Structure formats: structure tokens, C-alpha cells
Amino acid sequence: MIAKIKCPVCAEEFNLESDLEASDTFHCAECEALLEIVSVDPLRVKAIRDRAE
């Protein structure tokens, strides 16, 4: 199953595998912000850093 995510930094929408867990991190494909899964049900993310270093 695929989960749709909206980046809180640039508002880009993209898909991620839904087997993610809370505290998993990943980069936005568009702006490269480092994001963290806050909650999986409902699915919520937050920005840890605005841009990848």
C-alpha cells in the first residue's frame, strides 16, 4: 500500500511506502527537507530541517 505525503516545507505531494513507523525519517523529493513521521494513524509528518545539508 502507498501513502500520500504532503511536505510541510514546500507543499509538494508525493507517495511513500505505507510500512513506515513513527520516528522514521526521509527527505522530500522536491526540496530535500528532512522529514520525520510523527504519527502513522493518521499519517502526519514534521520537518526536522528545512533543507538537506
pLDDT at 20: 82
Q: Which residue has the higher pLDDT, 4 or 23?
A: 23
Q: For the chain, which domains are there?
A: 2-49 (2.20.28.160)
Burial class (CB in 10 A: 0-12, 13-18, 19+), 40: middle
Does the pLDDT value for residue 46 go beyond 80?
A: yes
Cα dihedral sign, 37-32-49-25: positive
- Single pTM value for the model: 0.80
